[in-house]
Every structure is written in C-alpha cells, then in structure tokens.
Structure 1
Amino acid sequence: MHIPPPLFADIALADAWAETLVHRGLLHAAVRTPSGEWLVQDSQNAPVRVLADAAAVLTLVAGIQRRLRTARERAR
C-alpha cells in the first residue's frame, strides 16, 4: 500500500504549532528533520522522542490542548 507524502499545509501547520508550543513553554524543543521526522522534547531533562511526521505532531498538539482544556475546566 502506498502512503502519500504529507501535504505542505500539514507540514506548515505542524511547524506553526511546534513553534507556538515551544514559545509558550509547553514543549522544550520541537525540530523537524530533513527526513520529515520530528524530534520533540517535553522538558530540558526529558528524553527526546521521535515523531514520524507532521500528522504525529498534530496528534501531540491535540493531546496537549485536551490536557489544558481539562485542567482549566477542573479549576472552575
């Protein structure tokens, strides 16, 4: 089965979200490699994780958003 490469829009969206999460301190680092994989580190001392592609980054973003939303709702 052939899996098509990610759309440029997906890569651009993942880039934007990764930059935002690092800027806001929700991730320590997120770097896209030339192969399309992402190196992600939650905190300075955390292990580096390898995410397969932009879709995996967007899945990570969704999980972070869910956790933030849940924490905000519990604080009410």
Structure 2
Amino acid sequence: MNMKDRPTDVDQRPAEKVEIAIRLDSELLEQIQHLTNDPSKVIEVAIRQWLRGDVPRDDELTRNPVRRAIPPRGEWND
C-alpha cells in the first residue's frame, strides 16, 4: 500500500460542529465532569444513541408491572 492508496484525513473528517447553549441541572453537569473534561462529547454521544434507539428506556413509563401470585387462602402465614 503506497501513499496514494491511503485514505486521507479529508475523506474521514467529522461533520461540522455547531456550538449551542443548553441548560443542565448543576448536579448532572457535576456528574458528567467526573467522567470527562469534555461534557459536550458525552451529551453528543447520548443524543446519537437516543436518536438511533440504542439505549432502552428504563423509566416508570416503559416498565411493565410485575404481577405477583397471591397464595391461596390458608397459606398466608406459612
């Protein structure tokens, strides 16, 4: 493989970045900053996953209620 066969940085450049202002809970931002010095990257990855549907939601609206069997009469105190 010679230099002409290698992909260039131009071929693999990332999409143009746009700066926006968002409001976050200060505690949430503090937790993100414990993970990385670049919170925007964490937020970008989370949005991409959410848009693709990669992350299953786990909140009260998506959970199915768990039905528990009630024991027959007379077995309550066993």
TM over 0.5: no
Looking at secondary structure, tell me which structure has more helix per residue: 1
Say which one has the larger Rg.
2
Pick the TM interval, shorter chain: 0.3 to 0.5
**TM-score calculated relative to the size of structure 2:** 0.32
Structure number with greater CO (CA < 8 Å, separation at least 6) is 1
Looking at secondary structure, tell me which structure has more strand per residue: 1
